[in-house]
Amino acid sequence: MLQQSISLHPYTRNTNLGEDMSFYAINKKSESRDVKTGFEPYIPQARNTTKAEVRLEHRNGKKVIVKDYSRRSLLIRFFYGRFTLRREAKAYARLAGVAGIPRCFGFEGKYVLLFEYIPSRPLSQFRSGEVPESVFDKLDQMISSMHSRGVANSDLHRSNILLTEAGDVYMVDFVHALTDNNPKSPGPLTRLSMQLDLHAAAKIRARYLGQQRPEPVGFFGVLYRIGRSFKFLRKKIKLIGK
């Protein structure tokens, strides 16, 4: 492969990555090895019954990712599933044509959404030093294009950034996305979420390139630290309850 390409066979380790594997994970039973690239397809896996079932299937001879709430409980699929799928579909529709955003093929019923399948590996499966700087430059360009259309991912992390064998970069999972009705002048909540995207991308870049981690500043920094404190407290409460 070229120098900028990325190996899709990273180091072997335990894939139990907890919350960091919220969207893409290994599922060896769902599909045979990809003929073109020779690796096990990665598809999303639900962490609990409040999340959608996600499968790799075929439609018209093409592989698609199927995100399905139809077999969840009535309360989950009606009040949560339908809302999150609509929010995600709205974000994908606004981002149609942006390089690095997979296509959303739309709904298949009320509780099923179809997406383009990208043969790839999540960034979380790579070590520091294994990813060229060009990957993070592409990620920054993608975020800039996304924000210019009034969309904030709001939950950017290593597992929803996908890398192909050719070194292309994709972003998936817009469950928490905010899509502002006025892209040229987004509201305060959307602007804060955009700052969160930029900070997350800077942290990821620093992690893989061995740079100093950025510190959030200003009003965003205050809110960011409060959010981190609540997240830490929630984890402690869960550990005590076990």
Q: Tell whether 133 is covered by a domain.
A: yes
Query: Which tens digit of pLDDT belongs to each residue from 64-118?
Result: 999 999 999 999 999 999 999 999 999 999 999 999 999 999 999 999 999 999 9
Q: Tell whether 2 is covered by a domain.
A: no
- Give the SS3 label for residue 224: helix
Query: Which tens digit of pLDDT belongs to each residue from 163-183?
Result: 999 899 999 999 999 999 999
What's the CATH number where 29 sits? Answer: 1.10.510.10
Q: Tell whether 238 is covered by a domain.
A: no
Q: Tell whether 13 is covered by a domain.
A: no
Residue 38 tokens read as 């020779």
Looking at this protein, which amino acid is placed at residue 128? S
Cα(68)–Cα(114) distance, integer angstroms: 9
> What is the pLDDT averaged over residues 146-157?
97
| Structural domain boundaries enclosing 120 | 18-211
Query: Which tens digit of pLDDT belongs to each residue from 157-167?
Result: 999 999 999 89
Query: What pLDDT score does 24 carry?
Result: 33
- Give the SS3 label for residue 93: helix
Q: What's the predicted TM-score (pTM) here? A: 0.79
Quick check: 53 pLDDT over 70?
Answer: yes
Q: Tell whether 234 is covered by a domain.
A: no
Question: How many domains does one find in the chain?
Answer: 1
Q: Which of 10-24, 48-62, 154-168 has the lowest mean pLDDT?
A: 10-24
